[in-house]
Amino acid sequence: MSVMSNVVLEVRDLTTKYVTRFREEVYAVDHVSLQVEEGKSLGIAGESGCGKSTLALSLMGYYFPPLHYTCGEIIIDGRDISAMRPDDVRKSILGTEIAYIPQSAMNALNPTQKVIHFVEDVFQAHDPFKSKKEIHEFAKEAFETLGLPEEVLQKYPVELSGGMKQRTVIAVSVLLCPKVLIADEPSSALDVTTQKMVIKMLKGLMENGFIKSMIFITHELPLLYNVTDDIMVMYAGQIVEKATAREAVFDPLHPYAKGLMGSIIVPESGLRDVKLAAIPGVPPNLKDPPVGCRFAERCKYVRAECKVAAVPLYDAGGGRAYRCILSEEVLREAYQHAG
């Protein structure tokens, strides 16, 4: 990971949990620390249920039951929002400091409203003194910059293709120029061509001055190569690998990150066409996670020591970190032998 410079978002030791109606506690974000610098993007990868969306909600201070804050700091541009009331966060942070595109957002658009109404809603909440004329002018210019025809503003969601709908959601989310944009699975369920257009648009948001940094969430680790600068892999609510995109894709250290990539070395050009080898088994139930390494039941390299005590996140230097008791040398050698 790159050397720290102008940090827009800093998260220290964040832990959040769901409390179910049977009073069971599910720690879906377990002591997570991360940083995103101005001009940089962070990819978060992991299988379904590993805590990616919960982390996104937690980063936005979205603490409404059943999700509860437990500990940690979320510092955006110098302010710790973990100490703020959720309502205050919603009023003074969301949209301007941090914006979130939820998973499947494009399918949740109100079908009875034209796109221009979504735009008006954004400004009504944050800049009520702007006239409709000013809002419309601003929206036209913003949509044009983002490669969307202005006619889209007068359309209903049902009149837009999937790709156009997703690009519209992205455009509306960044109208207030947030410092951090969190996009949760923004390209899932889209065909490859549309996926490329959506990713191109997201990558252009920083160049166009709409956002200062981005967090891109996906269950497809290889997709992040060429899209984000750094990558964090999550497993069972914890970070298991932190690295640059190149390192995470071509030289992953944690066996889970390695598994997400498949065991083959992938030529750069064909990266996105690769069929992934599935990792046998399923992640542990977070209501009662195992004592030792949470990946132990699925790991090819498991040893007795792995199951004894919680495994810390080891600092591998240069911003890299991984959560495994084996040394980098042992892991790399094991991967070489595995072919």
The answer to whether 335 contacts ligand SF4 (rule: CB under 6 A) is no
Looking only at residues 111 through 130 of this chain, which bind ligand ATP when binding is defined by CB under 6 A? none
What angle (nearest 5°) sits at the alpha carbon of residue 221, between those of residues 219 and 227?
110
Strand partners, 233: 45, 241
Kindly indicate which of the ranges 67-75, 201-209, 243-251, 290-298 contains the residues binding ligand SF4, using the contact rule CB under 6 A.
290-298
Classify residue 326 by its DSSP letter: S
Strand ranges inside the chain, DSSP E: 7-19, 25-37, 41-45, 67-76, 79-80, 98-101, 180-184, 213-218, 230-235, 238-244, 314-317, 320-322
Figure out which of the listed residues 7, 75, 266, 302 binds ligand SF4, where binding follows CB under 6 A.
Answer: 302
Q: What mask of x and - would describe binding to ligand ATP in positions 64 to 103, judged by CB under 6 A?
A: --x------------------------------------x
Q: What's the closest the beta carbon of residue 44 comes to ligand ATP, in angstroms?
A: 9
Binding of Mg ion by 53 (CB under 5 A): yes
- Among candidates 289, 306, 296, which has minimal Cα distance to 29? 289
Locate tokens 């959506």: which residue?
198
Tokens of 7: 């940090």
Instruction: Evaluate whether 279 touches 235 at the Cβ level (below 8 Å).
Output: no
Rounded to the nearest 5 degrees, what angle is found at the Cα of 153, between the Cα atoms of 150 and 156?
135
Choose, by CB under 6 A, the member of 6, 20, 104, 161 that binds ligand ATP. 20
Please give the residues from 242 up to 281 whose contact with ligand SF4 meets the rule CB under 6 A: 255
Residue ranges in 39-68 that form contacts with ligand ATP under rule CB under 6 A: 46, 48-54, 66
The verdict on 314 binding ligand SF4 (CB under 6 A) reads no
Cis geometry, peptide bond prior to residue 186 (ω within 30 degrees of 0): no
Distance of closest approach, residue 143 Cβ to ligand ATP, in angstroms: 29
Asked if residue 301 binds ligand SF4 (CB under 6 A), the reply is yes
- Smallest CA-to-CA distance from 218 within 199, 244, 242 is with 199
Interface residue with ligand SF4 among 29, 248, 299, 321 (CB under 6 A) is 299
For ligand ATP, the binding residues (CB under 6 A) are 18, 20, 26, 28, 46, 48-54, 66, 103, 219, 286
For Mg ion, the binding residues (CB under 5 A) are 52-53, 103
For ligand SF4, the binding residues (CB under 6 A) are 255, 293, 295-296, 299, 301-302, 306, 311, 324-326
